[in-house]
Amino acid sequence: MTAERFLSAACGALAAAWLLAASPACAQASEQAVKTAFLPKFARYIELAPAAQPAAGQPYYLCILGRDPFGQQLDRAAASEVIDGHAVAVRRFADASPAAVGGCHIAFVAGANDQATVAMLLTLRRQPTLTVTDARIGKAHGMIHFVLADGRVRFEIDNAGAAKRGVTISSRLLALAVQVKQ
Amino acid sequence: MRANCCVASLLLWAIPVAAHADDDQQQNLSSLSIEELAQLPVRSASKAEEPLSAAPTALYVITEADIARANGTSLPEVLRLAPNLNVERINATQHTVSARGFSGYESSNKLLVLIDGRSIYSTLHSGVNWDLHAPLLDDLQQIEVISGPGGTLYGPNAVNGVINIVSKDAADTLGLLARGTAGARERTAGARYGVKLGDSASLRIYGNYVDRDDMPPGIGPDVDDAIRGWQAGFRADMAGDASHLTVQGDVFDAKAFIAPGDGNTGYNLLGRWSRDLSEASALQFQAYYDYSERRSTSTADRLEVIDFEGQYNLRSGSHALVGGFGIRTTRDEFVNNINVFQLDPPRRRLWIGNGFFQDRFALSPQLSVIAGIKLETSSFSGLQVLPNLRLAWTPSDKALLWAAVSRAVRTPSRIDRDLTAAGFLAAAPDFDSEKLVAFEAGFRGQPMRSTSLSVTAYYNHYYDLRSARFIGSPWPVQLGNDLEGNEYGVEAWIGQQVTPWWRLRGGATWLHRDFRVRPGGSDVGGAASLGHDPSYTLSLRSEVTLPGGFTFDAGLRAVDALENPHIPAYVEADARLGVTVAEGVDLYVTGDNLLHARHFESNDPSRTQSIERSIAFGTRLKF
């Protein structure tokens, strides 16, 4: 039996919907694309202190501080999220000057180097912002820190650090973390 | 398990082509839940990929995912995946790998092969002894295969092609991996363990074992061509803010059985340091030591290599500049107790130097010119100037049209100059570099959303190729540079994502050769240095991802006949059925050369053995 015939036999046996829902990946998404999909979704799985929540009709601000590895795809991904009537809007800043980043609900931070990222995270500590990082090396870790685990995008969560800033992270998100600092 | 598959399938629907994550695909990712996203296998971002995809060369990349689904248990078997290479298995131990002709155990001497920046062609004969290199294939990041002179940036011997084998950063190989295969004539086993050392450093160690049985006799003498041995090593990566340090090394030992004492031994150590000096400039240095020893039928060759290289990159306006140098010294020894062929002197130190400079200049956003010059010299040959000029036109982000003209040389090997046989062969102190002027043009792109295509045409003019002439009455013979000629050919490959779960790949090469003895010259060696090439090769692969963690891959390849001596054209097939039975537990069964009980791939009259149909079982465990 040739590969093609084996294949068509195998596929014919399956309802199309089930096939779509059950065949594993042969083409893989990029690491960046998966992070892009994750970021706006974080807004749904955190709870900010009432004073820090967006006002009615206002969006959650997702800020990209420093280097932007996501580009326009992030804006499109954000546009598909609506959380309790709040949209998610992307803002980009070269650095974490307090005046600029005051309104950020979520901040992805990627400085030119570890030191720069640490400095921006320090600035953000003054406010109730969920900080997210992904540098593979160095000490700069936000409340959520993306890692690659067995070829999948996962994260470490600093739940204690988040709680100190008044950011409550939902148990659904915590359940996906490879490591949770309590 | 089922949950994993469900999630992954949505991605498939989302991402039919591995190429650009376009808007629809991102939208589909966004429609997944966070639990689904967390289960998606991803391609990790690689810095090296980007400049290469825009490289105006005949480039084929064998990815980590391709290697994970390949049947091969050795480097040359995995290289069969590259349609622009011709891989011939000679016997259990030996392969010949060539691009654009000159195929043969002794004649395939115009490739530059790098493993993590370490050049592995032998300065003894300029060819590659593939049996000396058995890295753990699971640790490889990718293999870039360039057919053609490859441009300015690669080191010496990049005449007909470059094979650049790159292993993963140690940070990407954490944890334990164990793998093994068993078939009637071959058993392999390997393991790797990777750990994090603090915040910014990682280390992996690995071991690899192969045991390949004697093949049944072919057109060569019936000898015991089995090989049994191991290779082990480590790689450590340390990353600072703007710098990266890699230290890696390997040690290997293998036994061969043609004569008592046969086998391979060697070790190497490499350090590479790179630093971003600014947003627009970077500096890299690399040094390595490499020792290898090959003992075969009462001959032994030993080679010690010390190499130091540096490279500086600078982006300035519309210019991307690269400059660098390399200096290599080799010390070799050749001992032959079986016949009269000797190297004179038996031990020698050689020096090989090269310097290069390249500017990629954007004339417009769509049109770039790449002008480069490489200087090569060895203690055997004078200074060679190797310019190359390339044009790259990208009318859209889905198409690249390119053209190039380059000059390349193969500097003399020890055998070219110093091989002697009392009364029969005299040393050739005046043997000159073999030379090539290559003209190439190609297209690479995505003509349709789910189709990738690359087509390259080339015209090569070679001169000063190795010949042999009588200098006595008539003996002895002396090697000379009296062969010349032209080659033209086409290489093409296509990838088609037929459905989200089914990918087809096709490849074809066609080569026409026209060589002659230079007017006034002579060749009494039967043009042995030109090798024996099939005029065409064809390949077709189907890669299917089935529900329930199953994968089914099958390949067909057709290779034209070789002449002198005649080996018939052949068509062969291979297949692989894999299943992930639990997270991190893969089982698979592979079949190779399924269509015939036995066939020949090489026409080497002194080495070729019969390649048999084979079935093997394998497993890969990750913890």
Each residue's pLDDT tens digit, A25-61: 334 577 888 999 999 999 999 998 888 889 888 999 9
Residue B509 and residue A9: Cα distance in Å, rounded? 33
Give pLDDT, residue A24: 31
**Helix/strand/coil (H, E, C) string of chain A?**
CCHHHHHHHHHHCCCHHHHHHHCCCCCCEEHHHHHHHHHHHHHHHEEECHHHCCCCCCCEEEEEEECCCCCHHHHHHHHCCEECCEEEEEEEECCCCHHHHCCCCEEEEECCCHHHHHHHHHHHCCCCCEEEECCCCCCCCCCEEEEEECCEEEEEEEHHHHHHCCEEECHHHHHHCCEEEC
Chain A nearest CA to B129, separation (Å): 34
C-beta separation of B433 from B416 below 8 A? no
Which residues from chain A sit within 8 angstroms of residue B199, using beta carbons?
137-139
Please state, in angstroms and rounded to a whole number, the distance separating the CA atoms of residues B386 and B406: 7
pLDDT of residue B410: 92
Q: What residues of chain A lie within 8 A of the CB of B16, using their CB?
A: 27
φ, ψ for residue B150 (rounded to 5)?
Answer: 80, -5
What pTM value is reported for the model? Answer: 0.80
CA B574 remoteness from chain centre: 21
Which residue does chain B place closest to A67, by CA atoms? B279
Name the token pair of B532: 């024996």
Closest in A6, A33, A154 to B552, CB measured: A6
Average pLDDT, stretch B503-528? Answer: 94
Q: Which residues of A touch B9 (CB under 8 A)?
A: 19-25
> Omega into B476 within 30° of 0, i.e. cis?
yes
| Chain Cα centroid distance, residue B622 | 27
CA dist B602 and A181 (Å) reads 60
The half-sphere exposure of B115 on its side-chain side, counting CA atoms within 13 A, is 23
CA distance B558 to B127: 25
Q: Which residue of B has its CA nearest to A35?
A: B37
pLDDT at B504: 95
Q: Is residue B394 within 8 Å of residue B400, measured between CB atoms?
A: yes
Domains of chain A with bracketed CATH: 29-181 (3.40.50.2300)
Neighbours of B75 (CB within 10 A): 24
Shortest distance between the Cα of B50 and any Cα of chain A, in A, equals 13
pLDDT tens-digit readout, B465-498: 999 999 988 889 999 999 999 999 999 999 998 8
Chain A residue numbers with beta carbons less than 8 Å from the beta carbon of B21 are 29-30, 32-33, 73
How many angstroms separate the CA atoms of B4 and B329, rounded? 53
Q: What is the Cα–Cα distance from A33 to B42, expressed in whole angstroms?
A: 9
Tell me which DSSP letter residue B41 carries: B
What element of type H or E holds B25?
A: helix B23-30
As a three-state string, the secondary structure of B127-159 is: CCCHHHCCCCHHHEEEEEEEECCCCCCCCCCCC
The structure tokens listed for B103 are 């195929």
Distance CA B186, CA B172 (A): 29
Nearest to A19 by CA among B36, B30, B6: B6
Report the gap between the CA of B20 and the closest CA in chain A (Å).
9
Provide, as residue numbers in chain A, all residues whose Cβ is less than 8 Å from the Cβ of B14: 29
Tokens of B64: 């980590």
Q: Which residue of A has its CA nearest to B69?
A: A26
Q: Is B76 helix (H, G, I), strand (E, B) or coil?
A: helix
B383-421 residue pLDDT tens: 889 999 999 998 887 788 999 999 999 999 999 999 999
Contact A21 B6 (CB under 8 A): yes
| Alpha carbons B600 and B609: distance in angstroms, whole number | 7
pLDDT of B549 higher than 90: no
Q: Do A36 and B172 touch (CB under 8 A)?
A: no
Residues in Cβ contact with B580 at an 8 Å cutoff, skipping those fewer than 6 apart? A24, B1, B549, B586
Per-residue burial over A105-130, b if 16 or more Cβ lie within 10 Å, else e, is: bbbbbbbebbebbbbbbebbeebbbb
Torsion on CA atoms A170, A95, A148, B41, rounded to nearest 10: 80
Q: Which of A27, A34, A176 sits opposite B16 (nearest CB)?
A: A27
Q: Are strands A130-133 and A144-149 parallel, antiparallel or unpaired?
A: parallel
Verify whether the Cβ–Cβ distance A26 to B547 is below 8 Å: no
CB atoms within 10 A of CB A102: 11
What's the angle, vertex CA B82, arms to CA B78 and CA B85, rounded to 5?
100
Q: How far is A110 from chain B (nearest CA, A)?
A: 12
List CB contacts of B234: < 8 A, sequence separation 6 or more: B203, B204, B205, B206, B248, B249
pLDDT of residue B522: 93
Average per-residue pLDDT for chain B: 89
Nearest Cβ partner for A41 among B14, B34, B502 = B34
Residue A33: closest CA among chain B residues belongs to which residue?
Answer: B26
Q: Which residue of A25, A137, A139 is in closest CB contact with B545? A: A25
Quote the tokens at residue A157: 């969560």
Given a cut of 80, is residue A95 above it in pLDDT? yes
Name the band, by pLDDT with cuts 50, 70 and 90, for residue B429. very high
Under an 8 A CB cutoff, do B65 and A32 touch? no
CB–CB of B578/B588 below 8 Å? yes
Report the range of poorest mean pLDDT among B23-37, B259-273, B521-535: B23-37
Model pLDDT, residue B283: 92
- Are A4 and B542 in contact (CB < 8 Å)? yes
CA distance B160 to B162: 7
- Which are the contacts of B58, defined by CB distance < 8 A and separation ≥ 6? B84, B146, B147, B148, B440, B442, B454, B456, B458, B491
Report the pLDDT value the prediction gives residue B250, as an integer from 0 to 100.
98
Domains of chain B in sequence order: 1-42 (no CATH), 43-622 (2.40.170.20)
Q: What is the dihedral of CA B47, B49, B54, B55, to 10 degrees?
A: 100
pLDDT at B43: 59
Contact B91, B220 (CB under 8 A): yes
- Nearest by CB: A151 against B42, B497, B551: B42
The one-letter amino acid at B479: L
pLDDT of residue A52: 86
**Does B19 score more than 50 pLDDT?**
no
User: Among residues of chain B, what percentage have pLDDT more than 90?
Assistant: 69
Residue of B nearest to A3 (CA): B554
Q: Encode pLDDT of B457-474 as tens digits.
A: 999 999 999 999 999 888
Query: Could you give the CA distance from residue A161 to residue A152 in angstroms, rounded to a whole number?
Result: 25
CA distances (Å), B384 to each of A170, B309, B409, in order?
66, 19, 8
Is B462 within 8 Å of B435 (Cβ atoms)? yes
User: Can you give the pLDDT at residue B280?
Assistant: 79
Contact B545 A23 (CB under 8 A): yes
**A7, A14, A23, A173, best to mutate vs chain B, most B CBs in 10 Å:** A23
Distance from CA of A74 to the nearest CA of B (A): 9
Which helix (H) or strand (E) is B442 found in, with range? strand B434-448
Is the pLDDT assigned to residue A133 strictly greater than 90?
A: yes
**Residues of B with CB below 8 A from A113's CB?**
241-242
Segment among A141-155, B74-88, B432-446 with least mean pLDDT: A141-155
- In sequence order, what E strands does B240-366 have? 243-256, 263-278, 281-296, 299-316, 319-336, 341-343, 347-362
| Res A28: pLDDT | 57
For residue range B37-87, what is the model confidence (pLDDT) as tens digits? Answer: 887 776 554 333 344 446 788 989 898 889 999 999 999 999 999 999 999
| C-alpha distances out from residue B40 to A70, A84, B11, B74, B568, Å | 18, 27, 8, 29, 47
Strand partners, B340: none
